[in-house]
Amino acid sequence: MTTNPSPQIWLYDTTLRDGTQREGLSVSIEDKLRIAKRLDQLGVPFIEGGWPGANPKDVQFFWQLQEDPLKLAEIVAFCSTRRPNTTAAAEPMLQAILTAGTRWVTIFGKSWDLHVTASLKTTLEENLAMIRDTVEYFRSQGRRVIYDAEHWFDGYKHNQDYALQTLEAAIAAGAEWLVLCDTNGGTLPHEVSQSVQAVSNHLSFLVSQESMTIPQIGIHTHNDSDMAVANALAAVMAGARMVQGTINGYGERCGNANLCSLIPNLQLKLGYSCIGEHQLNQLTEVSRFVSEVVNLAPDEHAPFVGRSAFAHKGGIHVSAVERNPLTYEHIQPEQVGNHRRIVISEQSGLSNVLAKARTFGIELDKQTPQARQILQRLKDLESEGYQFEAAEASFALLMYEALGGRQQFFEIKGFQVHCDLVEGKETNNALATVKVAVNGKNILEAAEGNGPVAALDAALRKALVNFYPQLATFELTDYKVRILDGHTGTAAKTRVLAESGNGYQRWTTVGVSTNILAASYQAVVEGLEYGLLLHFQAETALTTSS
């Protein structure tokens, strides 16, 4: 028995062109090459690389890809139609597109008569000639053409007949795809469906009347109404077969359609084929890779790929998910390369504690007295201002202590921090002195830093590194302070979250006190302690396996 294959949706990624128009996002040529190669591995068939000729960076990008081509994906050059009252063959900017050496070219043209007369300052007929001439020119040069109908939905609303004429001009000239663009991002899903269906019906009419070869329809949506993903899905369900978007929804203003949401919705929910299953489970990693390359913090609450996408905090939720994940998860997190997280907080029940303990390799039973002791200790500390959902390393240490297994690598005997003031102005200099005991031996050390916390961290490392050389690989990667009860003024409690790392792992610890240095001390010390715990656990596991 044979089964019908899933209908194909052609993905078109424009992260490297449209995505880079996001405010605050900038990438180098090397960044663009790394992203392009990662998208190629993901299985994206079309990757828009930029506008050759618009800037030197894009020219060099396409040159380098000629030397070291992608394995599977088609790299696409992007440009506009020729300018008014000239010819495509005489248009210098189009020569740069040919030099890029891509097999596919995407050309955008005006669909909205307002833009033709107000922006281009030309006639409606000349705009049609610009579309025809540009597409024909690239076809005559052996290029395959995707036509992006800019401002399609606005143009169709205001002048249906003319908007359809722009598509007919692209079709007659040889475009293989017609991509309908919601450039201003103001269209709603029902309008997208109606418009895509109307275009599809019009194209079918052309076939019956003129026996024309009709291109397929694509969709390009922006997120100004928070509808980009919904609009793209509506277009597909109305017949579109190409979806343009960006990784993480990057783009100008409010962004573009987010491929990290579109791909799993199309493939897992609607049954279309976009990429292979083995590639789909790379989606979370790709999302985070791109955010790292463009130097933007990942959206932890992003659907499918966010750190919190499959996080469970309420005790009833955790208990249900432990029995059957379908109770509170719409897909299996592993399908998109993500994983389930059990969040610990004052809202936690015993199920949270048991589940979280398992993630640290600790097996607890509901009947174990320590399990309830851990839960009560958690709730007591959270009522004092601690926040363990953001500081899971501190919670792990709390569990080990309750179970009598918290290893004491060192003991702090005391510390002092001194900050210099010169002529009433605070300088960047701080001096910390610490006294610690390791294996019964007292060590006194001092170190400077560009602030009290940096100085304290440096002094602790200096005192301990001879006993624990691996501390040299640890670094304090983030430091956050929150005032918990500001109405008490300078007597307010302060919560400090300290993120530490060792080059391949990161962990967060928490400290709370009315003294900001005491809260910082607690968070920094627990960060060092947890890092040492990870190191020796890894060593033990390696020894056991060998």
Alpha helices in 403-515 (DSSP H): 452-464
Domains and CATH numbers, the chain: 10-275 (3.20.20.70), 311-402 (no CATH), 410-467 (3.30.160)
Read off the pLDDT band of 70 (50, 70, 90).
very high
For residue range 485-503, list pLDDT tens digits in order.
655 555 678 888 888 888 7
pLDDT recorded at residue 278: 92
**Residues 519, 522, 527: CA angle, nearest 5 degrees:** 125
What's the average model confidence in pLDDT over 212-226? 93
d(CA 76, CA 546): 50
pLDDT of residue 395: 85
- Mean pLDDT for 128-136 is 97
Q: Which of 165-169, 375-379, 407-411 is least confident? A: 375-379
Contact (CB, 8 A) for 222 and 254: yes
Q: Does the pLDDT of residue 476 top 60, yes or no? A: yes
Give the pLDDT score at 491: 62
* Burial letters 475-493, b for 16+ CB under 10 A, else e: bbeebeeeeeeeeeeeeeb
3-state secondary structure of 254: coil
Above 70 in pLDDT, residue 542? Answer: no
Q: Quick: pLDDT tens for 336-363.
A: 998 877 666 655 667 777 777 777 777 8
User: What's the pLDDT at 131?
Assistant: 98
If you ran DSSP here, which 8-state letter would residue 488 be given? G
Q: What is the DSSP string of 66-134?
A: HHS--SSPEEEEEEEPPPTTS-GGG-HHHHHHHHTT-SEEEEEEE--HHHHHHTS-S-HHHHHHHHHHH
What letter does residue 55 receive in the DSSP assignment?
B
pLDDT at 315 exceeding the cut of 60? no
Instruction: Return the pLDDT at 32.
Output: 95
What is the pTM (predicted TM-score) of this model?
A: 0.74
Statement: residue 2 has pLDDT above 50: no
Provide the pLDDT for residue 493: 84
Q: Rounded CA gap, 249 and 277, in Å? A: 22
Rounded to 5°, the CA angle 93-96-97 comes to: 95
Query: Angle at the Cα of 23 (from 19 to 24), degrees rounded to 5?
Result: 100
Closest CA to 397 of 523, 235, 230: 523
Average pLDDT, the chain: 88
Return the pLDDT at 437: 92
> How many other β-carbons are positioned within 10 Å of the β-carbon of residue 419?
14
- What's the mean pLDDT in 265-293? 94
pLDDT at position 1 = 42
Q: Which whole-number Å values give the CA distances from 181 to 10, 68, 105, 268, 361, in the listed order? A: 16, 32, 16, 25, 51
**CA nearest to 494, candidates 513, 470, 508, 520:** 513
For residue 287, what pLDDT band results from cuts at 50, 70 and 90? Answer: very high
What was the pLDDT predicted at 62? 95
Cβ proximity of 409 and 535 under 8 Å = no
Neighbouring residues of 246: CB distance < 8 A, sequence distance ≥ 6: 13, 14, 15, 18, 19, 255, 256, 257, 258, 259
